[in-house]
Amino acid sequence: MKQFDIPEFYRSPVIGKVKAKRKLEDPRKQNFSPTPLDFGKISFLIPRHFGFCYGVENAIERSYKAIAENPKKRIFLLSQMIHNPDVNKDLLENGLTFLQDTDGKQLFPFEELTSEDVVIIPAFGTTLEIENKLREIGVNIDTYNTTCPFVVKVWNRSEKLGETNHTIIIHGKYNHEETRATFSHSSSNASSLVIKDMNEAMFLGEYILGAKSKMDFISYFAGKMSESFDPEKDLIKIGVVNQTTMLASETQEITEYLRSVMIEKYGSENIKEHIADTRDTLCYATNDNQSATIELLNYDADLAIVVGGYNSSNTSHLVELLEQKFPTYFIKGKDEIISESEIESFNIHTKSIERHSNFLPSKQNVKIIITSGASCPDSIVDGVIQKLLGYFELENSIETVLEHL
């Protein structure tokens, strides 16, 4: 795996050693058990996979490279580089300007760009419409295009499906940057439809089986279909691809459900003519992080802390998994830990910040699961660990614990 050149302050002496040891012991990523860090009165369970992925590290490296290589030019980020406030804040402090927010709202007019300006495409990629607009201005969008290769893989698979007259079913959040980009690329090659979850997949299945009318379908999926989408002819052959930050298990569940619908309608002997095998579009990093989080559910802990940006899709799914078993707190970093008794956490269901009292239990030995999303630097996780350690008398020093990993 390539080693990326990213600023040192993104790295962590604690988490870095844990990851290095696991990589040495398990280079093929076969063991998903967590790593325990036992300090005596407080201990942590660190999952096998978490934090920066290939696509994120690549995006960060190329963004700082753009800054270093263009000292006299205006440098723009199309939108947030990744969904982490600390990373984006540092890039802005280094002189970059956002062209859009995460919803696609214009913050800086395209009309004021020139061919001399540098524009960085974020890891999520962008739409063909925006690509074409920037090229018309004369902006070079290839040198610093940081679109994740796994996102590009989904686009390429969609193109292949279009060539065989499959309609593309995108499992994703319609307004997410990556889904908007994937929808733009897929709909240029084939009829395309975005579904958010199993409920929407079941509505789609009910239409295919004749339990819903065409008007029901058009009303339900308004704004989520490609132009001139005709459900009567566009749902005979389908293929499911995903927004790479969605739950891989949910994408697979949706695909298997739609496969069963097609079998019911057309018969198992004809299934290959009606739904494509698209398991190869799942992002390995998202899948590994989610599998490692699911493994944590087999262990005992007093609480779980998930660190990352509140608008990060993949991070919210880690919260969703952990809260099935543990009191789970979703925080941006150490500053959300107000004291040893209070913490401010983001509620993924109400989309609001909540303050919790007595989040650390009053007991002899407290065990905490701690993990982070794919866009969260290890240094921020390290800061959370260090702050929590400050509330306890340690029986084992950090150095001792790391020596005995």
Pairing of the two strands 352-357 and 342-347 = antiparallel
**Fold agreement between 8-53+285-403 and 54-137:** no
Q: Which two tokens stand for residue 291?
A: 């599998």
pLDDT for 405: 85
Please say if the pLDDT value at position 81 is more than 80.
Answer: no
Q: What is the mean pLDDT of residues 294-321?
A: 94
DSSP 20-76: HHHHHH-TT----PPEEEE-BSEEEEE-SS-S--HHHHHHHHHHHHHHHH-TTS-EE
Q: What is the mean pLDDT of residues 148-164?
A: 93
Cα torsion at 293, 396, 13, 287 (round to 10°)? -10
Q: What is the pTM of this model?
A: 0.85
Cα torsion at 112, 114, 116, 118 (round to 10°)? 60
pLDDT band at 404 (very low <50, low <70, confident <90, very high): confident
Q: Which two tokens stand for residue 99?
A: 């062209």
pLDDT for 311: 86
Q: Rounded to the nearest 5 degrees, what angle is found at the Cα of 208, between the Cα atoms of 205 and 210?
A: 110
pLDDT for 34: 97
pLDDT band at 283 (very low <50, low <70, confident <90, very high): confident
Q: Which two tokens stand for residue 368?
A: 């905490």
pLDDT for 244: 81
pLDDT band at 156 (very low <50, low <70, confident <90, very high): very high
Percent of all residues in the chain with a pLDDT value above 70, rounded to a whole number: 99
Pairing of the two strands 35-38 and 42-46 = antiparallel
DSSP 138-166: T---STTB---HHHHHHHHHHHHHHHTTP
Q: Which of 53-57, 111-115, 142-146 shows the lowest per-residue confidence on average (mean pLDDT)?
A: 53-57
Spatial contact of 100 and 107, defined as CB atoms under 8 Å apart:
yes
Nearest alpha-carbon partner for 55 in 122, 144, 127:
122
Cα torsion at 24, 282, 128, 105 (round to 10°)? -80
8 catalytic? Reply is no
Q: What is the mean pLDDT of residues 146-160?
A: 93
DSSP 358-390: S-S-SSSSEEEEEEE-TTS-HHHHHHHHHHHHT
Q: What is the mean pLDDT of residues 58-69?
A: 92
The arrangement of strands across the sheet holding 328-331 comes to 35-38, 42-46, 366-372, 303-307, 328-331
Spatial contact of 232 and 207, defined as CB atoms under 8 Å apart:
no
Please say if the pLDDT value at position 279 is more than 80.
Answer: no
- DSSP 8-state secondary structure symbol assigned to residue 3: P
The total number of residues shown for the chain amounts to 405
What is the enclosing helix (H) or strand (E) of 97?
strand 97-98
pLDDT for 80: 78
- Taking residue 103's Cβ as centre, other Cβ atoms within 10 Å add up to 11
Please say if the pLDDT value at position 295 is more than 90.
Answer: yes
Spatial contact of 241 and 168, defined as CB atoms under 8 Å apart:
yes
- The domains of the chain are located at 8-53+285-403, 54-137, 149-282
Amino acid sitting at position 110: F
Annotated catalytic residue within 178, 200, 320, 336: 178
* Distance between CA atoms of residues 84 and 90, nearest Å: 10
pLDDT band at 2 (very low <50, low <70, confident <90, very high): low
pLDDT in tens, 209-247: 999 999 999 999 999 999 999 999 999 999 999 888 788
- Taking residue 101's Cβ as centre, other Cβ atoms within 10 Å add up to 12
Query: The domain at 149-282 falls in which architecture?
Result: 3-Layer(aba) Sandwich (3.40)
Q: Is 242 helix (H, G, I), strand (E, B) or coil?
A: strand
What is the enclosing helix (H) or strand (E) of 120?
strand 118-120
* Distance between CA atoms of residues 65 and 334, nearest Å: 29
CA 347 distance to own-chain centroid: 17
pLDDT for 364: 85
Most confident of 12-21, 88-97, 276-285, 344-353: 344-353
Q: Given this structure, which CATH class describes domain 54-137?
A: alpha beta
* Distance between CA atoms of residues 206 and 250, nearest Å: 18
Per the prediction, the chain carries an average pLDDT of 92
pLDDT for 1: 55
277-281 long-range contacts (CB < 8 A, ≥24 apart) are 278/157, 278/161, 278/239, 278/240, 278/241, 279/252, 279/255, 280/153, 280/157, 281/153, 281/154, 281/157, 281/241, 281/242
CATH of 8-53+285-403, one of 3.40.50.2300, 3.40.1010.20, 3.40.640.10, 3.40.50.1370: 3.40.1010.20
Q: What is the mean pLDDT of residues 351-361?
A: 96
Q: Is 369 helix (H, G, I), strand (E, B) or coil?
A: strand
